[in-house]
């Protein structure tokens, strides 16, 4: 089968989308299919590390130069050149929303009679829709057209499926397929050696939706002795500066290195460094106000690390099993922080082991790849 993925971009700091697309492409390529990723990027632009790994697995990456205006990832090269890739494909899988590649690839797939799968990747979350409202209102009719003409809409959770139905409009019944994100299981054993200072880790984009100011308020309330809160990730929307102001406002002490208590804002880490950070943490925390999946939760559990997250994520199943899932307010987060930090190292390790087993059963990339290929095969067999 010839599979074409179309995405606006795969930047190094792009987070979940920049990892999901190449990983899915690599998994299906290893299964013997011919896979291409088409995106908008300058020839010398640095892509995510997983994009390079996908190429090593046999995935072809086709770059189309961006054009002026650069809004919505417009590319004149893609406008002229994408039709050939679509015509050669057996299935077209389009990722995200609000961008020219999504609209154009969906249109080309429809006009050329190719099965179309769209993955919104959380873009239709009602909380996210209030950001950049003017833009999303202005171009919303394009995204609705794409969704209404898709043969399948891939979502990573039941909640995201509800967002899609609400956005597309009640009179439509979009064909929704729920397939979670995948995660690689670390091969190295978790480093369970206790250090003098225990560490609670937030790892991800510093974005307004991640609830980081609320996390600082919760940390102020709980103030666990002998613990460091480490916040790691690339800045977005000036959140790093906001957090620095919040730290001063709350009077929270700064941790100057890995061996000191307090709050530490650190630069982003990738690949092996990211895997090590998740394995070395005593607890991982994701205080998001909204998530369609929350990839770091699965990655932390795969590393054997227990997790605190919120009911605004689709991870209620971890509560009482391998972590805590609480409302996204400071009081609730403070209670979960206190509960996690008062456990013994052995009790936290046991939670982490249970989380690892949960991920092994449902969230590995081979399992996700098989589910997606089943979806693709089902759609292609319906076509003449």
pLDDT digits (tens, 9 = 90+) for 75-90: 999 999 999 999 999 9
Cβ–Cβ < 8 Å for 325, 311: yes
- Does residue 192 surpass a pLDDT of 60? no
Q: Quick one: CA dihedral 185, 191, 192, 196, positive or negative?
A: negative
Is position 284 within any domain?
A: yes
Is position 192 within any domain?
A: no
Cβ–Cβ < 8 Å for 359, 321: no
- Does residue 58 surpass a pLDDT of 60? yes
Here the CATH number for the domain that contains residue 24 is 3.40.50.2000
- Does residue 194 surpass a pLDDT of 60? yes
Domain check: are 349 and 373 in the same one?
A: no
Domain check: are 124 and 261 in the same one?
A: no
Model confidence pLDDT, tens digit, residues 243-257: 999 999 999 988 877
Q: For position 153, what pLDDT does the model report?
A: 96
**Minimum mean pLDDT among 95-109, 320-334, 370-384: which range?**
370-384
Parent domain of 171: 2-182+364-381
- Give the residue-averaged pLDDT of 271-280: 88
**Minimum mean pLDDT among 27-36, 134-143, 308-317, 343-352: which range?**
134-143
Is position 226 within any domain?
A: yes
Strands (E) in 21-97, as ranges, are 34-40, 60-64, 91-95
Q: For position 70, what pLDDT does the model report?
A: 79
Q: For position 350, what pLDDT does the model report?
A: 95
Is position 193 within any domain?
A: no
- Does residue 189 surpass a pLDDT of 60? no
- Give the residue-averaged pLDDT of 180-192: 76
Domain check: are 305 and 345 in the same one?
A: yes
Kindly provide the b/e burial profile for residues 89-114, where b requires at least 16 CB atoms within 10 angstroms of the residue's own CB: bbbbbbbbbbbbbbbbbbbbbbeeeb
- Give the residue-averaged pLDDT of 14-22: 81
Q: For position 48, what pLDDT does the model report?
A: 85
Comparing CA positions, the residue from 107, 115, 122 lying closest to residue 210 is: 122
- Give the residue-averaged pLDDT of 35-53: 91
Is position 52 within any domain?
A: yes
Domain check: are 90 and 213 in the same one?
A: no
Is position 15 within any domain?
A: yes
Domain check: are 69 and 160 in the same one?
A: yes
Is position 339 within any domain?
A: yes
Taking the alpha carbons at both ends of the chain, their separation in whole angstroms is 15
Domain check: are 13 and 98 in the same one?
A: yes
Model confidence pLDDT, tens digit, residues 203-235: 998 999 999 999 999 999 998 999 999 999 998
Cβ–Cβ < 8 Å for 38, 382: no
Domain check: are 124 and 242 in the same one?
A: no
Is position 189 within any domain?
A: no
Q: Between 187 and 381, where is the model more confident?
A: 381
Radius of gyration (C-alpha) of the chain in whole angstroms: 21
Q: For position 275, what pLDDT does the model report?
A: 87
Domain count, the chain: 2
d(CA 64, CA 77): 6
Cβ–Cβ < 8 Å for 118, 94: yes
For the chain, give the mean pLDDT. 91
- Give the residue-averaged pLDDT of 113-142: 86
Cβ–Cβ < 8 Å for 47, 75: no
- Does residue 191 surpass a pLDDT of 70? no
Cβ–Cβ < 8 Å for 326, 333: yes
Cβ–Cβ < 8 Å for 341, 200: yes
Domain check: are 335 and 375 in the same one?
A: no
365: helix, coil or strand? helix
Containing 177, the helix (H) or strand (E) segment is: strand 176-178
Q: For position 236, what pLDDT does the model report?
A: 82
Q: For position 273, what pLDDT does the model report?
A: 87
Domain check: are 204 and 137 in the same one?
A: no
- Does residue 384 surpass a pLDDT of 70? no
Containing 313, the helix (H) or strand (E) segment is: none
Percent of the chain with pLDDT over 90: 68
Domain check: are 171 and 308 in the same one?
A: no
């Amino acid at each position: 089968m010839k599979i074409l993925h179309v995405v606006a971009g795969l930047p190094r700091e792009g987070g979940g989308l920049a990892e999901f697309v190449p990983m899915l492409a690599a998994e299906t390529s290893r299964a013997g299919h011919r896979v291409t990723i088409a995106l908008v990027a300058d020839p010398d632009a640095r892509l995510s590390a997983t994009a390079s790994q996908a190429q090593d697995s046999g995935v072809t990456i086709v770059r189309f130069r961006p054009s002026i205006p650069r809004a919505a990832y417009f590319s004149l090269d893609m406008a002229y050149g994408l039709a050939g890739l679509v015509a050669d494909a057996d299935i077209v899988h389009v990722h995200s929303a609000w961008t020219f590649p999504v609209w154009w690839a969906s249109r080309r797939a429809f006009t050329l009679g190719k099965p179309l799968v769209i993955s919104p990747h959380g873009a239709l979350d009602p909380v996210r829709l209030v950001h950049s409202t003017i833009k999303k209102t202005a171009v919303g009719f394009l995204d609705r057209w794409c969704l209404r003409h898709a043969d399948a809409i891939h979502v990573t959770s039941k909640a995201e499926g509800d967002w899609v139905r609400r956005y597309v409009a009640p009179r439509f019944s979009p064909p929704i397929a729920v397939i979670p994100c995948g995660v690689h299981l670390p091969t190295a054993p978790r480093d369970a050696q206790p250090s003098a200072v225990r560490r609670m880790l937030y790892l991800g984009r510093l974005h307004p939706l991640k609830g980081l100011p609320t996390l600082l308020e919760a940390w102020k309330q709980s103030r666990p002795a002998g613990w460091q809160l480490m916040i790691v990730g690339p800045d977005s929307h000036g959140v790093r500066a906001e957090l620095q102001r919040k730290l001063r406002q709350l009077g929270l002490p700064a941790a100057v290195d890995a061996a000191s208590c307090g709050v530490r804002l650190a630069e982003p880490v990738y690949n092996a460094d990211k895997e090590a950070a998740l394995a070395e943490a005593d607890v991982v925390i994701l205080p998001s106000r909204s998530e369609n999946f929350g990839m770091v939760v699965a990655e932390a559990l795969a590393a054997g690390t227990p997790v605190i997250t919120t009911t605004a994520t689709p991870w209620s199943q971890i509560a009482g099993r391998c972590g805590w899932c609480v409302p996204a307010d400071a009081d609730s987060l403070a209670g979960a922080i206190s509960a996690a930090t008062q456990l013994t190292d052995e009790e936290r390790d046991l939670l982490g082991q249970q989380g690892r087993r949960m991920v092994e059963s449902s969230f590995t990339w081979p399992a996700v790849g098989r589910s997606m290929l089943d979806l693709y095969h089902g759609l292609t067999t319906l076509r003449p």
